[in-house]
């Protein structure tokens, strides 16, 4: 099965963490993503496209009593995350090799689903399929929290975003046109934009979506 690894190329996965910290405001991104929880303490979280754990570990440390399922199809990323979990003696994270649009969870069994920089790797059909699968596993009034690229807001972010477009092509063009909220609403979610963050490679948007009953 063909899929995009964290940096679009498999050989770059081992250096993903270093490049992420170097090129993007990683700490600010993590803190703003976690703030989407509105200071609620969840009982369980499913993180889609967890990669090497840039968001997974901060979530696990901040909510030690929360059950976290880190879902990613990339075995190399999962292996790196497993090592981090062992090194940091983290006991509330379970790594699962699965697709974001075919999740190993029962219907209505999850309270929070996180998706950070996932939809930029998916073609339109799989964006929709992932949203439908998130809707399926979330319980009534469950939340889908998203950190994702959107329309660039500054000249610098517009210039940098051209690089991402060249790599992501059609998977990211619709995001730059601001289509993600429309997709969420079309798939049975409310959508609230909480914050934006301009970076060297574009503008990140932080969304809180709630499953409609």
Does 144 fall in a domain?
yes
Does 186 fall in a domain?
yes
CATH of the domain at 159: 3.40.50.150
Does 3 fall in a domain?
no
Does 23 fall in a domain?
yes
Under the banding of pLDDT at 50, 70 and 90, the label for residue 17 is low
CA distance 59 to 119: 20
Full domain range(s) for residue 37: 10-211
Q: Considering its fold, how many domains does the chain have in total?
A: 1
Does 90 fall in a domain?
yes
| C-alpha count within 13 angstroms, C-beta hemisphere, residue 129 | 10
3-state secondary structure of 133: helix
Does 2 fall in a domain?
no
Residue pLDDT, tens place only, 108-149: 999 999 999 999 889 999 999 999 999 999 999 899 999 999
**CA quadruple 82, 33, 98, 18: dihedral, nearest 10:** -50
CB-based burial label for 33 (10 Å; 0-12, 13-18, 19+): buried
Record the pTM.
Answer: 0.89
Q: Over range 60-86, report the average pLDDT.
A: 94
Does 5 fall in a domain?
no
Q: Which residue has the higher pLDDT, 8 or 63?
A: 63
Under the banding of pLDDT at 50, 70 and 90, the label for residue 61 is very high
pLDDT, position 168: 59
């Amino acid at each position: 099965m063909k899929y995009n690894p964290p940096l679009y190329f498999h050989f770059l996965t081992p250096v993903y963490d270093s490049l992420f910290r170097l090129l993007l405001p990683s700490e600010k991104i993590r803190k703003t993503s976690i703030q989407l929880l509105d200071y609620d303490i969840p009982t369980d979280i499913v993180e889609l496209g967890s990669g090497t754990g840039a968001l997974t570990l901060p979530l696990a440390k901040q909510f030690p009593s929360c059950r976290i399922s880190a879902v990613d199809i990339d075995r190399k990323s999962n292996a790196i995350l497993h090592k981090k979990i062992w090194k940091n003696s983290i006991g509330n994270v379970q790594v699962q090799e699965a697709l974001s649009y075919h999740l190993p969870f029962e219907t209505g069994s999850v309270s929070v689903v996180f998706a950070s920089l996932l939809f930029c790797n998916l073609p339109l059909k799989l964006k929709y399929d992932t949203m439908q699968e998130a809707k399926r596993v979330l319980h009534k009034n469950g939340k889908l929290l998203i950190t994702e690229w959107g329309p660039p807001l500054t000249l610098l972010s517009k210039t940098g975003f051209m690089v991402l477009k060249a790599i992501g092509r059609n998977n990211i063009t619709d995001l730059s046109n601001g289509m993600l909220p429309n997709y969420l609403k079309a798939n049975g979610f409310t959508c609230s934009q909480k914050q934006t963050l301009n970076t060297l490679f574009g503008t990140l948007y932080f969304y809180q979506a709630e499953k409609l009953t």
